[in-house]
Amino acid sequence: MVYPTSIELRHQLKACVDPLAWPQVTLIFMVILATVVVSEWISARLRHAPI
């Protein structure tokens, strides 16, 4: 069995990553992060709210 060299692997990885639309990837990541932060903040507020 022939294994690819590290240079070949780098080229394959670059070919897979290059077509990604990085502005959209960044926006999706930021929206997910903001959603998690807001949900954690709401959860923390509800834990300390008087019933």
Determine if residue 37 is left, alpha or beta; phi over 0 gives left, psi from -120 to 50 gives alpha, anything else beta. Answer: alpha
- Find the domain containing 43 and state its range: 20-51
The predicted pLDDT at position 40 comes to: 95
Q: What confidence score (pLDDT) does residue 51 get? A: 61
Counting the structural domains of the chain, the total is: 1
Phi-psi region of 5 (alpha: psi -120 to 50; beta: other; left: phi over 0): beta
Q: Is residue 9 part of a domain?
A: no
Residue 39 within a domain: yes
Q: Mind listing the pLDDT tens digit of every residue in the chain (51 residues)?
A: 777 788 888 888 888 878 878 889 899 999 999 999 999 999 999 998 776
For residue 5, tell me if it sits in a domain.
no
Give the whole-angstrom CA distance, residue 41 versus residue 49: 12
Residue 26 has a pLDDT of 93
Whether 45 is in a domain gets the answer yes
Distance CA 35, CA 45 (A): 15
